[in-house]
Each structure stands twice: as structure tokens, then as C-alpha cells.
Structure 1
Amino acid sequence: MLPTHDTDDVPRCSAKGCRAPASVDLNWRNPKLHDQTRVKHWLACDEHADHLADYLGVRGFLLAREPFRGTADS
């Protein structure tokens, strides 16, 4: 289960200071640290999805961008 940092159990955006519910799941890995089986997840709201995806993309970490369906393994 993903940490929400809230008591309402609604998965929230991973952007610093954002409290919006997540709508996008950004799948990523740092190939210098993680093997091919390890996939990490950042959740994003619509407002921050492009920014977070760009951040991961320029580093070569972004694997996939998908709609958030309510659960993910981190």
C-alpha cells in the first residue's frame, strides 16, 4: 500500500506540498541503483503530472505514465 500521509487513506500527489488526490501513476527506476525487476511509483495530480514526469524523464528514470487506478506497489 502506498503511504498517503493523511488519515483519509486517499493516495495523494507526490509533489512537494501538494495535497490533491492522485490521478497519474509515474513508474520509474534509477538504473544505477535498481535492477530490472524494481519499479518505483510516484503519484501525481493532473496539475503536477507533467512536471514530475519531466523531472524523471530528463534523468532517464521514467518507465511509464499511466492513469492511477487506486493501488500500486512501491
Structure 2
Amino acid sequence: MIGLGLDPAEVLDPICSRAGCREAAAWNVNWRNPRIHTADRVKVWLACDDHADYLRDYLEARDFPVLVTAVGTTVDRVPDVTSRA
């Protein structure tokens, strides 16, 4: 899913974006790089229950704003304030 430009709501069987994981995704990890993107540029990784925290923490450690939502939820923007699942 990473970098494919697909709308998560259009994917029939969303799979976790964590390397090597093939579990069904339950979460959207919405994020952006504030150094190059405005708040309305949203990138989405998908996460299973086991990897949602891992992916969120990975992005937060790099000071990227993150908003975790249920899979299939569309987010128009990722504000600078982060939100935990």
C-alpha cells in the first residue's frame, strides 16, 4: 500500500503496511511530512491491530504528525497535533 496512491476505502482486502505482515488492516495511519507537505496532504499506511502502535510510534519519532483512524475512514488533513488510537 505504501506509495501506490490507492484510496484505502477502495481496497477490498486491506493488508497491514508493516514489512512482512500479511494480516488484515483494521487501522489507517494517516500522516504527513510537515517539512514538505501542508496539513491537507495526507499519506496513509494501513495497520493491523498488532502494528498500529508500531507504525504510529515510528512516524512520531520522526516528528511527523499522525492521526490513527479506523480503516476506511477518510481524513482531509493531518494537523500538527497527534492522536492515539
The residue identity in structure 1 corresponding to 2:58 is Y
Residue of structure 2 equivalent to 1:61: 64
Task: Say whether residues 1:37 and 2:46 are aligned partners.
Answer: no
TM-score normalised by structure 1 residue count: 0.76
Mapped partners of 1:62, 1:43: distance in 2 = 16
The residue identity in structure 1 corresponding to 2:49 is D
Identity of aligned residues (%): 47
Return the structure number with greater relative CO, CA threshold 8 A, min gap 6. 1
4+ aligned runs moved over 4 Å, structure 1: none
RMSD: 2.0
- Which ranges of structure 1 fall in alignment gaps of 5 or more residues? none
- Which ranges of structure 2 fall in alignment gaps of 5 or more residues? 1-6, 76-85
1:1-74 maps to which residues of 2 (within 5 A)? 1-2=7-8, 9-68=12-71, 70=72, 72=74
